[in-house]
Structure 1
Amino acid sequence: MSQNGVPDFAELLRSAQRTAVHLEMRDVYSVGDERDSFDEFLRTGRTDLDPDSPFWQGWTPLVRETVARGVQMRRARIVSEPVTDYIRWEHALTAVNVAVGEQVRWLPRRLASDIALPGNDLWLIDDRRVMFHWFTGDGDWAGHEFNEDPDVVKMVVAAFEAVWERGIDHEKFTV
């Protein structure tokens, strides 16, 4: 367990028994460990699509391990259109997420107006535990909050499922 009762993310994902879902709602993130890859994409239009490369080593082994245990991993992204450069880059990278076992859908923000959404991005594990992610105004990490309150979990489940139902499969979504 990490500080303030918030589990380490890898520990949280490894605890999943059935489902792990991720809701992303920002059009731009600016987390430090992505900066070089994003800058390369802006300069060249290319990105690292090798799931075994050093860029992906913090993620793809964990996803493969989780999916191999029978856990269904779904990621839904709500995006503004036209999309930002960051979302174009994220869309290009998503081929790796799908290749290692995640299911990914995209929902244009204009189609989410009548969905009651949580105020922050999140991971929901087994429809029981939520880890909210906080970001600064410019998109860098600002913190996390772990929540198991049944009312909060119920709201998150409803929001994610509504987004997922309306979302467009990655293979069909163009940027």
Structure 2
Amino acid sequence: MRDGYMRDDPLFLRWLGGHRDDRADRSSWWSPWLQLIQETTARGVDVRRARVISEPASEYIRFEHEITFRNITSGERVRWLPRRRATGLALPGNDFWLIDGQHLLVHHFSGAGDFVEHEFVTDPRTISLCASAFEAVWARALPHEDFRLT
């Protein structure tokens, strides 16, 4: 939902400095998180990530777009929705992970994009709202392999 996160992230700073992952050298970019996702999707769990972005894209979004091959390699399905195509959707004000349609982990960030805290939400109405918002975004968004940044 944001156009930039943790802009002091060492991976982002390396990318700004010109580093690009060698897709053929998996050991150089593979991580415990990607391993967890691969193990999860291998069990048949569908892991989907939707990104709502502004256009033209910020440098951070360009970075995310370029490294999304990592997510795809681990088994995630990723879609992109330009913010102009989100008009008419009721979207929550925060990023979140919805797990099994019944557990909601909300991510809070500062105005500068720095992580502040996580919040576990148990209210069924909030969980339902976030689930329906995600499905609405997913239906409008383009799969990563079809999406080109402007």
After TM superposition, the score normalised by the length of structure 1 is 0.79
Q: Map of 1:108-147 to 2, 5 A cutoff?
A: 108-147=82-121
CA RMSD of aligned residues (A): 1.5
- For 1:103, the equivalent position in structure 2 comes to 77
What letter is aligned with 2:93?
A: G
The answer to whether the 8 Å contact 2:12/2:63 transfers is yes
Change (3 A) 1:28 1:83: same
- For 2:5, the equivalent position in structure 1 comes to 29
C-alpha distance in structure 2 between counterparts of 1:171 and 1:165, whole Å: 16
What letter is aligned with 2:14?
A: E
The answer to whether the 8 Å contact 2:7/2:60 transfers is no
1:58 Cα deviation after fit: 3.0
The answer to whether the 8 Å contact 2:50/2:134 transfers is yes
List per-residue Cα deviations over 1:49-71 (Å, max 9, x = no partner): 45433x54231111011111111
List per-residue Cα deviations over 1:6-60 (Å, max 9, x = no partner): xxxxxxxxxxxxxxxxxxx00000165xx2221221121624645433x542311
Q: Does 1:80 align with 2:54?
A: yes
3-state secondary structure, aligned to 1:115: coil
- For 1:158, the equivalent position in structure 2 comes to 132
The answer to whether the 8 Å contact 1:124/1:131 transfers is yes
76-85 or 141-150, larger mean C-alpha shift: 141-150
Q: Does 1:93 align with 2:67?
A: yes
1:147 Cα deviation after fit: 1.1
1:128 Cα deviation after fit: 0.6
Q: Map of 1:8-23 to 2, 5 A cutoff?
A: none
- For 1:68, the equivalent position in structure 2 comes to 42
What letter is aligned with 1:98?
A: I
The answer to whether the 8 Å contact 1:75/1:103 transfers is yes
- For 1:44, the equivalent position in structure 2 comes to 18
The answer to whether the 8 Å contact 1:48/1:93 transfers is no
The answer to whether the 8 Å contact 2:48/2:78 transfers is yes
C-alpha distance in structure 2 between counterparts of 1:26 and 1:51, whole Å: 28
List per-residue Cα deviations over 1:117-151 (Å, max 9, x = no partner): 11110000111110000011111110011112110
3-state secondary structure, aligned to 2:63: helix
The answer to whether the 8 Å contact 1:73/1:101 transfers is yes
- In the alignment of these two chains, the number of paired residues is 148
After TM superposition, the score normalised by the length of structure 2 is 0.92
What letter is aligned with 2:95?
A: D
What letter is aligned with 2:2?
A: R
What letter is aligned with 1:110?
A: R
